[in-house]
Amino acid sequence: MMMTTRRVTMAPDAEAGERGGVSLFSQGEGEPVISCRGVAKRFGGQTVLSGLDLDIMPGETMVIMGGSGSGKSTTLRMMIGSFPPSEGAIELFGRNICAMDEDELNETRKKIGILFQSGALFNSMTVAENVALPLHEHTDLDPETIDIMVKIKLELVGLREAAEKYPAQISGGMKKRAGLARALALDPKILFYDEPSAGLDPVTSAAIDQLMVDLTQKLGVASIVVTHEMDSAFTIADRMAMLHKGRMIMVDKREAYEELRDYPKDRIGELNEEQQLIRQFLRGDHEGPMTESHTQNSYEADLLGADLSKLTGGRAIQTTRRIK
Ligand SMILES: Nc1ncnc2c1ncn2[C@@H]1O[C@H](COP(=O)(O)OP(=O)(O)OP(=O)(O)O)[C@@H](O)[C@H]1O
Ligand SMILES: [Mg+2]
């Protein structure tokens, strides 16, 4: 069964994608719900993100990938206004987050749903009470109306029969569904998912993927998903974005990533180093530019604690086979 109607149009600058550069393109369905331009983030002296340009279009599912520490969570946190960028601008629904006062930021946050890793449910409340919470907090709706809205959300995620159960009485997959129902409570325009399949068995994980795809179709929300699960990523994504060491090295439609993943090994020399790195990441190969640069860095830092470039005349040691 095909899972979703893809609303992605082809990149006008397909070449940019092929070169592994960032290709920004509009999908022709209105203004972006999120727009990042020249965004950088520094913590103390450490630059963890730089030169980030990224648009999230209405109704699309964008999967953000990258190794541990590449800046995925930092990107998400800035997008939801948890902290400001050190440089550049982030617009939510066309308004610069940094220009918003606390009231406007709170209003804007109501249009955003966030599914945390564990579902982040309150254990002392039933599933229904958890879903009702944002409605009690952020609306003046009467309890009967809230009741009905909760039932609708639980029905959407297939959890109506568990309404009166407590989080401890339901499985991990059901907790994710409940967390999703709560994230949907205020009818958000954007949904953020942090590792939605983490800790789930493959079947439950596939069911959550299917649910995400269904919800995108039914509700037309834009979704931003951070995941390490490649099966999941390729199932749900309209577009994908790859972060590497704080830089967005490729933003393109799912099909372009599929092409890279399936690129024949004997033609790998046709790919540039970033594309090879992405190919390795997507395939989960233990050998490739990603592992080699990582090993090299840890080697320098852990064993020598010194600037190895002094020993190599300013050049980085290349263990990578460079095929050009
Ligand atoms: N509040 C903070 N203060 C200082 N450094 C931070 C802070 N938040 C993140 N960092 C640093 O920023 C870098 C990127 O972190 P981030 O959490 O965005 O990575 P990630 O891609 O989400 O990794 P993972 O896949 O492990 O979750 C890391 O080096 C991290 O130590
Ligand atoms: Mg993270």
pLDDT in tens, 275-287: 999 999 999 888 8
More confident residue, 222 or 194: 222
Q: Kindly report the backbone phi and psi dihedral angles of residue 237, in degrees, each rounded to the nearest multiple of 5, phi listed first.
A: -75, 140
Sign of the C-alpha dihedral computed for residues 126, 128, 132 and 134 taken in this order: positive
Q: Kindly give the number of the ligand 1 atom that is closest to the alpha carbon of 71.
A: 18
Distance (Å, whole) CA 170 – CA 147: 21
Cβ–Cβ under 8 Å, residues 185 and 153: yes
Q: Whose CA is nearest to atom 26 of ligand 1?
A: 68
For the segment 287-292, the average pLDDT, to the nearest whole number, is: 78
What one-character DSSP code corresponds to residue 299? I
Residue-wise burial string across 158-196, b where 16 or more C-beta atoms lie within 10 A, e elsewhere: ebbebbeebbeebebbbbbbbbbbbbbbbebbbbbbbbb
Q: Kindly report the backbone phi and psi dihedral angles of residue 282, in degrees, each rounded to the nearest multiple of 5, phi listed first.
A: -65, -35
Spell out where the chain has E strands: 34-43, 46-56, 61-66, 87-92, 95-96, 112-115, 190-194, 222-226, 239-244, 247-253
Of the pLDDT bands very low, low, confident and very high (cuts 50, 70, 90), residue 200 is confident
Of the pLDDT bands very low, low, confident and very high (cuts 50, 70, 90), residue 167 is very high
CB of 143 shorter than 6 A to ligand 1: no
More confident residue, 294 or 138: 138
Residue 295 has pLDDT above 90, yes or no: no
Q: Which of 39, 41, 42, 43 to mutate to test the pocket of ligand 1 (most atoms within 8 A of CB)?
A: 43
Q: Kindly report the backbone phi and psi dihedral angles of residue 243, in degrees, each rounded to the nearest multiple of 5, phi listed first.
A: -100, 140
More confident residue, 52 or 197: 52
Average pLDDT, the chain: 82
Residue 110 has pLDDT above 70, yes or no: yes
pLDDT in tens, 11-39: 333 333 333 333 333 344 689 999 999 99
CB of 73 shorter than 6 A to ligand 1: yes
Task: Quickly list H helices, 100-246.
Answer: 102-109, 127-138, 143-156, 172-183, 202-219, 230-236
Distance (Å) from CA 194 to ligand 2 centroid: 8
Q: How high is the pLDDT of residue 41? A: 97
pLDDT in tens, 64-77: 999 989 999 899 99
Q: How high is the pLDDT of residue 217? A: 85
Q: Kindly give the number of the ligand 1 atom that is closest to the alpha carbon of 66.
A: 21
Q: Which residues contact 26 (CB under 8 A, 6 or more apart)?
A: 32, 55, 57
**Ligand sitting nearest the alpha carbon of 49:** 1
Q: How high is the pLDDT of residue 23? A: 34
pTM given for the model:
0.79
pLDDT in tens, 223-236: 999 988 898 999 99
Q: How high is the pLDDT of residue 25? A: 37
Q: Whose CA is nearest to atom 24 of ligand 1?
A: 68
Q: Kindly give the number of the ligand 1 atom that is closest to the alpha carbon of 44.
A: 4
Distance (Å) from CA 161 to ligand 2 centroid: 33
Q: Whose CA is nearest to atom 8 of ligand 1?
A: 74
Q: How high is the pLDDT of residue 301? A: 54
